[in-house]
Structure formats: C-alpha cells, structure tokens
A and B are shown apart, each in its own frame.
Chain A
Amino acid sequence: MIIGLTIILADVTMSLGGSSGYSNFSVPSNGTYVELMAPLRNRRYEIRVMAPKAFLGTLYLFNYEGIRRLAEGVRTPILEEAINGSTLIDFTIDRRGAYMIMIESHVSTETEGGLGLVEYGALSRDLIFDSTIIIIIGMAVALLTIIPRIGRALRSSHSDRSKPQMPKPMHSNQSFPPILAE
C-alpha cells in the first residue's frame, strides 16, 4: 500500500518535466536502421528525423509484441510514417515498455542523419493504474490480517460479559524479551 501510494507521488513529481534524447543513425542504401528504446512511458512523444533533403524512407514504431513478431520476420508496427527529408512525427504511447524504431531507406545511397526524441511531461496513467492495483492488494492483505483479530476480539468480549472483569496484570505491558526456561 505504501509502495503504491509513493509511486503515485513519484509519478506526480515526474510529470512536471519531460526529457529529450538524440542519436545518430546511418542507413545503408535500401537498408534498415533499428533502435530499441526502453522504457518509453505513457506520454506524448515527438520524433525529429534529421536527414538530407533527398532522403526518402519510412519510419516504423513497434511495441513489445511487435518486436517479438519482427524477430520472427513479420512486420506489425503501431506507427508507420513516410520520411521525406527532415520530418517531425508525433505519437502517444498507451503503455510504458520497450519500443523499437525502424527506419527503412528507399534511396540507393547510404544516408547519415540524426534522430531526436522529445518526451512531454504528463501524468503516466498506466503507472497510476498499476499503483492502484498494488494499493488494493496491500489493503486486501492488511484486511485479511486484521479480520481474524477483530473476530477474536469480538468473540472474547461477547463471552466475557457474563464473567466479572479482572484488572490486567502489570506484566502485560512489559517491554523486555520473554525468559525461556533453561
């Protein structure tokens, strides 16, 4: 429960700022460039492809399942955008995890360029959802440990009503470790 609540607090703090990253790429003629990124979060992103004017290609974005299928040789991207020179691509990630960017060249010369990724600040709803589940599990566990105690207390108080109440012994509040018989 504490962990879940603190993750939400950390998420709120993290939502105040975004981040950015940059990498260089080199695509062979009619070839591909593949970059694995992790973790991309449940936020809005902007990819800035900086390439020569003559460059023509396609940018694909694969999610975790898409990467698995790609390794098997099947292309199932969640995003497919044409690149014509320098291009700006906006997209939003639904769930944090590992994503793969693939740039496919349609020109017959080797191309070098830059790939910038801008992450905008926002609350990650998936992290809040996961934290809520952790909080619910924590509360359930806490309740499960408390219910038998409440039941025992109720039963003992119910059965003790008929008996005269005796004062508790002094040693019930002792703060020393119990003595074991040798």
Chain B
Amino acid sequence: MIRNRFLVDLAWELNNMFRFPFPEILLALFTYMVFLPHAGMFSSTFGLEYLSWESITYDLAFRSARNGAFYSVSAYFPLAILASIFATLSFAYEIENGLLKVYLSHPTSRRAIFLSKFLSCFLIVFTTLSCVLLFFAFLDIPENAFYLILNSHLILRMLLVSALESFFITSLTVCFSIFSRKASISLVGSFATIYIIQLLGESANLTFLPPSSFYVQVEFLLARTTPKLSLVPDFLVTTLVSAALAIIAYVYFSRRLELA
C-alpha cells in the first residue's frame, strides 16, 4: 500500500511539474548548450601498419561519448536555474502556502512525500539532460552510431556523469528549499549558492568544487587508460556532498519540519 501511495505521489508530482512548460524549456536549453561547443574537432595519428577497423570504431565511439559528457558540463548553468525552480515549486512553495499540510492529511507518510518530490525533481533534470546527451553522441558521427551501441559501457558512463551532475544540483536545491521554507528565498538563495560555488571554484582553481569537479568526473569515468588515483578525492567530494545533502534534507523533512 505504501509503495502504491509512493507511486501515486510520484506520478502526481511529475504531472504537476509538466503543467508548466519547464521541462520543454530545459530540453531546449540543454540541446543548445550541448550542441553549441560542437565546433571542436579531434585528430589522432596512426601508423598505417597498425590501422585496424576495431580500434578506429572504438576510438570514434569513445570520442563521441567523451565529448558528450564534457559538453554536458556546459549545461550546468541552465541546469542550476531550472533545478532551483523545480525544488522551489515542489518544496518551499508548498510549505509556504500550506499545501504540504493538506498532503500530509492524506493517508501517506512524510517519507513517501519526500521521496516522490525529490525523485520527480531529479528525474526531470536527469531525463532531459540524458536525452540531449544521447542525441549528441549518436548525431556526432552518425555512421559510427552502431559501434557506440556495441560499446554500451561508454553510453552508461556518459549517463553516469549526467546522473551525478543532476544528483548534486537536485540535492543542493532541495536542501536549500526545505530549510528556507520561503519560495522567494529558496529560488534566489539556491541559485546564488550554486553560482557562488562556481565563482569560488574558478577563481581559486579548486577542482573539487562544481562545475570543475564534473570535468574531473568525466576524466575519471571516461579515461582511455586506468584513471589516476590522484583524481579520486576530487571525484568523490561532489558525490559525497550530494549524498550528505540529500540525507540531511530527508531527515529534516521527515522528523524536524514543523508546519504552522
């Protein structure tokens, strides 16, 4: 019954999100941001005697997946804006207007409500970004698309980068939204926090801060050789912080949040 309740809540949350054309706007922004740096071209040299069809097709598939994952980081800014809006609509706006109190009067648990709201925010961001990345990877070198499917681990790694990016943004914005409780503060505050983190990372050259850390994740997950161990801390920091933020938000929402 609880599982059914969770699925009903999730479906309703997703319907709620799709009432506004935000996912469509998100899709258009991601596509534009990912396809625009497409001007880049790579070249590699081979000895004619070592030329093999397998190595060339793998090399091309690898480059398509890697470029897709790299360019996904360029969509970080629109990702932050839209995730702030989703988190605010799902949490802060409903807390502020007393809608959450009405939901809690239904036979449901706080856990189910939190998970359905969090998952709906994450799913919209992750699905749209992944969809754009897949389009990019397959349209990059269309003739090599078959070999990209054959090397499906490359696609999975590219999607993992997208998932980690979406998870961080969703965790941060949801956490901010729950603690602020006000729609205006949540919207401006979460976006400002993400922007300050970006500025701090760029000015002080701190590679463990996003969005630079996402480039490290691409380097780590889509490396031709064994990834360097020195990249592990930078790779893990963002993921661990995301998980910690999600847990804190869950604990606060389910145990501490008092609704006036």
Decide yes or no: A180 and B4 within 8 Å by CB, A3-B31, A23-B43 being known contacts: yes
A83 at the interface (CB under 8 A from B): no
How far is the CB of B155 from the nearest CB of chain A, in Å?
Answer: 17
Q: Is B41 an interface residue (CB 8 A)?
A: yes
A58 CB, min distance to chain B CBs, angstroms: 14
How does the 8 Å CB contact mask read for B141-166 relative to A, with 1 for contact and 0 for none?
11110000000000000000000000
CB pair B142–A40 under 8 Å, yes or no, is: no
Partner of B143, one of A9, A17, A64, A134: A64
Tell me which of A10, A19, A35 has the highest count of chain B C-beta atoms within 10 A of its own C-beta.
Answer: A10
Contact with B along A20-53 (1 / 0, CB 8 A): 0101010000001111111110000000000000
| B contact residues around A166 at 8 Å (CB) | none
Number of interface residues of A (CB under 8 A): 47
- When the two chains form the complex, which single residue of A14, A38, A175 contacts B60, counting CB atoms closer than 8 Å? A38
A-B contact count (CB 8 A): 123
Among candidates A2, A37, A67, A72, residue contacting B31 with C-beta atoms closer than 8 Å: A2
Assembly CA distance A99 to B193 (angstroms):
44
Point out the residue from B32, B51, B144 that lies within 8 Å of A10, measured CB to CB: B32
Most chain A beta-carbon neighbours within 10 Å: one of B9, B56, B102, B103: B56
A residues in contact with B139, CB < 8 Å = 7, 127, 130
* In contact, B48 and A32 (Cβ under 8 angstroms): yes
Q: Which of A114-160 contact B (CB under 8 A)?
A: 117, 119, 127, 130, 134
Further pairs besides A33-B45, A64-B144: 5, Cβ < 8 Å: A3-B131, A11-B35, A32-B48, A34-B51, A71-B56
The 7 closest A-B CB pairs, nearest first, are A6-B31, A177-B12, A10-B35, A71-B53, A64-B143, A37-B43, A34-B46
Q: Which residues of B contact A (CB under 8 A)?
A: 1, 4-5, 8-9, 12, 16, 24, 27-28, 31-32, 35-36, 38-39, 41-48, 51-53, 56, 59-60, 63, 99, 102-103, 106-107, 131-132, 135, 139-144
